[in-house]
Structure 1
Amino acid sequence: MAPRGWEQHRAAVDRLVASYAAVPSGAKVRLAKTTSNLFRPRARTAVAGLDVSGLNGVIAIDPAAATADVQGMCTYEDLVAETLPHGLIPLVVPQLRTITLGGAVTGLGIESTSFRNGFPHESVLELDVLTGAGNLLTVRPGDELFDAFPNSYGSLGYATRVQIGLERVPAYARLRHIRLADHDELTEVLGSVVGSGTHGGAAVDAIDGVAFAPDEIYLTLATWTGEPGPVSDYTGQAIFYRSLQQRTTDWLTLHDYLWRWDTDWFWCSRAFGAQHPVVRRLWPKRWRRSDVYHRLVGLDRRFGVLDRLDRRAGRPARERVIQDVEVPLERLAEFLTWFDRHAGMRPVWICPVVAKGTSSGGRWPLYPMEPGRIWVNLGFWGTVQVGPDAPDAPMNRAIEAKVLELGGHKSLYSEAFFDRATFDRLYNGAHLAAVKAKHDPDNRLTTLYDKAVRRR
């Protein structure tokens, strides 16, 4: 897909604004989109959908300035396809191909470069936002709406254009998989690598890891390189996360490194049999993608297939535990030890992040993570058999409580169970309400609490 240019972009924005104007006064509005990377189920509503057709591409790339103007519904897959031929990538590329720029900015994206570059919204230079009041505003770092946009999840408005900074990269990534013996060694090595940007005398451009067991933990250290090597391919029979246990070094093209997790949705494709050698050979490559698996999960939620199979087999009811949390580095071992004892889910994804903060160096208003401090994002996605209490989500609630006890944070892309007072305290509800009163005075956009907790 070639860059669309400014004329096409303006025409698409005009259609969006016209669709807003066509919604009856006072009626709720929502984007008319059919895909999502959110894991929290949402009730079906009759809310009018805004026309976002034509807002899913790249507008322009400036290779000299290393910047890109991108439409809000553009996926990272389509963005990278345009930037990589210029030797450029976004500073943070979330792991799944169909995450959109607008979604990563108004939500929270993270990846293996986040220890250097923070969150995706921290590389944004300028935003065009269609507010709940129907106004199209251009905002920049330091503006109240700009700073409140991250973690607002569309409760303040929708990004129509995102201007971001890009990073210059060579063609390949050289990987080192380092096995660690326990949570304490993990904490020590993470602190050293994040603090110095090196390990064993070699530069580290990206870092993440996988914990398979309390005594089997791997960190993958990636170094960008222009030197070609015998590159691996994890879009076929080989499975990336298993390679961490099978080899100490690896070589990938930059393109394949960015999407190394997408083919198998980390390890979650195994739930559909897609990692069985026979099934894998028969499963078309074009369907080995996170968005396909996401749709399959949606069908299971809709028809309760897994729950029915459990009941027939006499197994305890399952609770779906799909969470991303951040804990301070110094509390990492404590959380993982607790998690092993109470949840026992494996593998767990590990990714350090150091937030840059706002343009003034402060905390982002709606996700007040202390900038400059080392945090560790932990992702665990699956089910736990808990029995008849499953509908009350006891494991999810216990995880939330433990994260808060350790001074951590919880992403809202998955389900949340906080009461309103706790939610407002954690995510600065008073500030959000003040900004929303200015830019969505008639409450035409669904509130953040309704989206994240009430699933509306």
Structure 2
Amino acid sequence: MKGWVSHEKAVRALTASYAAIAPGEPVRLAKRTSNLFRPRSTTDAPGLDVSGLDGVIAVDETTSTADVQGMCTYETLVDELLPLGYIPQVVPQLRSITLGGAVTGLGIESTSFHSGLPHESVTEMDVLTGGGEIVMATPDGEHSDLFDAFPNSYGSLGYATRLRIKLLRVPGFVTLRHVRFDDATSAAKAITDVVEAAAWEGERVDAVDGTSYSPGEIYLTLARFTDDADDTSDYAGQQIYFRSIQQRETDVLTMYDYLWRWDTDWFWCSGAFGAQNRWVRRFWPRRFRRSDVYHRLLGLDAKIGLGGVLNRVKGVPAVEKVIQDVEVPVEALPDFLAWFDAEVGMRPVWLCPLRTTRPWPTYPLRPGETYVNVGFWGQVEVPAGSPPGMVNRSIEEQVHALGGHKSLYSEAFYDEETFQQMYGGEVLTAVRDRYDPDGRLSTLYEKAVRNS
């Protein structure tokens, strides 16, 4: 644990780094790593020193809450909490995602059908605003406007230095049932039933997500948290989790391995680096089979252009990155998947149901209604000379037409008027005017679409 004294020292370093930035100069984090998949402008200007804000401050077991620094990764958070019998109510799939990042940039996982998104377990947070002030924001306090607008603001309203979050008490193991469905309609109906009852065929469901391998092969993975377990599987070694879903009807994991089941192979994206080849995997060190390593390899490829060379050798005219997570109403899932297969054609895709617990102006999903997050990550072949973002633009249009929303961690192509309507532009402007009157921080549109 960091403790309060260490936290206060880190906050002083942060505010000192803010004061060192010349008036009128933009304010941004001095942070080299990221889980974003969109280009960002670079600068040699000094940034905010968040190096000491990467841990757990304290855990209160009487209230089942924890005070956590904004740059604390979920890997560190789980390592601190799980020995105490707790986890965050929602643990995003990748180890290197930070709590502050998941709150300001959204996150999701298999407990989201009952616990919402990560920001919905936050009871209060300290935020360094664009104006240089640290304020404590709560749902019903003086700074409730900042609290409400902060989720999905991506640093355009400030940076969380401390967040108090509600915890979930958990046992040591997770039993899984992989239930197959032969079409999206029946899968969507099952999702609705599981979300409503928190059960399936008489057995409790504590977490649920899904994997769609083809239009006729869709699985829901139903998880039950338990103290009882037989032999557990190990998907951080030679076995590959996403393949096991097709091969096994039931499975058992430790709670720790369940939380990071998708991280080892970055869902299924590690195959692009050869990490799923059994001979390569045998010699690929276990400690390097993790999402942040693959992310760095992807960045290296972007610099040296090896992927482009290989595509030219294969005679591929052009490719477009399609790395997105979208939310559509559960009743629209079959229509979206049918359109996606016809127009994009990427499989597998990840499915994760969620319900928000209250209105959030900057990501306005309807509270109490079931949505399904559809995640797809890769690239598709497009004709030579295609306009930039051709496929991604069509995805945006289809999601909007079906009453859904798109996460903003990757490339976005909305015009500014549409974007402001979809992502609470009026609310964001009002909050920015109060907390960042000099405009030191980039706006959400500048960050998400203009990549500033």
Q: Same fold (TM over 0.5)?
A: yes
CA–CA separation in structure 1 for the residues paired with 2:20 and 2:65: 34
> Which one of 421, 435, 442 corresponds to residue 446 of structure 1?
442
Q: CA deviation at 1:34?
A: 1.1
Worse-superposed segment, 306-315 or 31-40: 306-315
Aligned: 1:213 with 2:214: yes
Match of 1:376 in 2: 372
Residue type of the alignment partner of 1:235: A
CA–CA separation in structure 1 for the residues paired with 2:178 and 2:426: 44
Match of 1:282 in 2: 283
- Are the counterparts in 2 of residues 30 and 47 from structure 1 also a CA contact under 8 Å? no
Match of 1:411 in 2: 407
SS at match of 1:89: strand
CA–CA separation in structure 2 for the residues paired with 1:379 and 1:316: 26
Aligned: 1:117 with 2:118: no
- Are the counterparts in 2 of residues 354 and 371 from structure 1 also a CA contact under 8 Å? yes
Q: CA deviation at 1:312?
A: 2.5
Alpha carbons of structure 1 residues 390 and 264: separation in structure 2 relative to 1, 3 Å:
farther
Match of 1:360 in 2: none
> Which one of 6, 19, 33 corresponds to residue 21 of structure 1?
19
Match of 2:44 in 1: 46
Task: Compute the RMSD of aligned alpha carbons.
Answer: 0.9
- Give unpaired runs (5+ residues) of structure 1: 358-362
Match of 1:431 in 2: 427
CA–CA separation in structure 1 for the residues paired with 2:198 and 2:170: 16
CA deviations 1:345-371 (Å, max 9, x no partner) are 0000000000001xxxxx211111111
Q: CA deviation at 1:299?
A: 1.5
CA–CA separation in structure 2 for the residues paired with 1:125 and 1:413: 24
Match of 1:262 in 2: 263
SS at match of 1:321: strand
SS at match of 1:31: coil
CA deviations 1:363-396 (Å, max 9, x no partner) are 2111111110000000000010002245511110
CA deviations 1:174-228 (Å, max 9, x no partner) are 0000010001111110010001000010000000010000000011000000102
CA–CA separation in structure 1 for the residues paired with 2:89 and 2:38: 27
CA–CA separation in structure 1 for the residues paired with 2:240 and 2:385: 35
SS at match of 1:166: strand
CA–CA separation in structure 2 for the residues paired with 1:161 and 1:58: 9
CA–CA separation in structure 2 for the residues paired with 1:55 and 1:98: 14
> Which one of 341, 354, 360 corresponds to residue 364 of structure 1?
360
Residue type of the alignment partner of 2:339: W
Residue type of the alignment partner of 1:27: E
Residue type of the alignment partner of 1:53: S
SS at match of 2:328: strand
CA–CA separation in structure 2 for the residues paired with 1:397 and 1:176: 36
CA–CA separation in structure 1 for the residues paired with 2:290 and 2:151: 27
- Are the counterparts in 2 of residues 355 and 371 from structure 1 also a CA contact under 8 Å? yes
SS at match of 2:309: helix
Q: CA deviation at 1:333?
A: 0.3
CA–CA separation in structure 1 for the residues paired with 2:178 and 2:338: 22
Match of 1:58 in 2: 56
1:294-305 mapped onto 2 (5 Å cutoff): 294-305=295-306
Give the percent of matched residue pairs that are identical in Structure 1 and Structure 2: 61
- Are the counterparts in 2 of residues 319 and 390 from structure 1 also a CA contact under 8 Å? no
Q: CA deviation at 1:26?
A: 1.0
Match of 1:135 in 2: 133
CA–CA separation in structure 2 for the residues paired with 1:385 and 1:295: 23
Match of 1:83 in 2: 81
Residue type of the alignment partner of 2:400: L
CA–CA separation in structure 1 for the residues paired with 2:23 and 2:193: 56
Match of 1:388 in 2: 384
Residue type of the alignment partner of 2:20: A
Q: CA deviation at 1:48?
A: 2.8
- Are the counterparts in 2 of residues 346 and 380 from structure 1 also a CA contact under 8 Å? yes
> Which one of 385, 394, 401 corresponds to residue 397 of structure 2?
401
SS at match of 2:313: helix
CA deviations 1:4-39 (Å, max 9, x no partner) are 100000000000000000110111011111110111
Aligned: 1:168 with 2:169: yes
Q: CA deviation at 1:253?
A: 0.5
- Are the counterparts in 2 of residues 88 and 168 from structure 1 also a CA contact under 8 Å? yes
- Are the counterparts in 2 of residues 193 and 199 from structure 1 also a CA contact under 8 Å? yes
- Are the counterparts in 2 of residues 173 and 223 from structure 1 also a CA contact under 8 Å? yes
- Are the counterparts in 2 of residues 318 and 390 from structure 1 also a CA contact under 8 Å? no
CA deviations 1:269-301 (Å, max 9, x no partner) are 000000000000111111101000011111122
- Are the counterparts in 2 of residues 90 and 165 from structure 1 also a CA contact under 8 Å? yes
Residue type of the alignment partner of 1:424: Q
SS at match of 1:175: strand
CA–CA separation in structure 1 for the residues paired with 2:4 and 2:114: 32
SS at match of 1:50: coil
CA–CA separation in structure 2 for the residues paired with 1:286 and 1:268: 17
CA–CA separation in structure 2 for the residues paired with 1:398 and 1:82: 43
Residue type of the alignment partner of 1:106: T
Residue type of the alignment partner of 2:96: T
CA–CA separation in structure 2 for the residues paired with 1:228 and 1:369: 37
CA–CA separation in structure 1 for the residues paired with 2:313 and 2:335: 38
1:300-311 mapped onto 2 (5 Å cutoff): 300-311=301-312
SS at match of 1:210: strand
- Give unpaired runs (5+ residues) of structure 2: none
CA–CA separation in structure 2 for the residues paired with 1:162 and 1:231: 34
CA deviations 1:132-152 (Å, max 9, x no partner) are 000010110131100110000
Q: CA deviation at 1:47?
A: 4.1
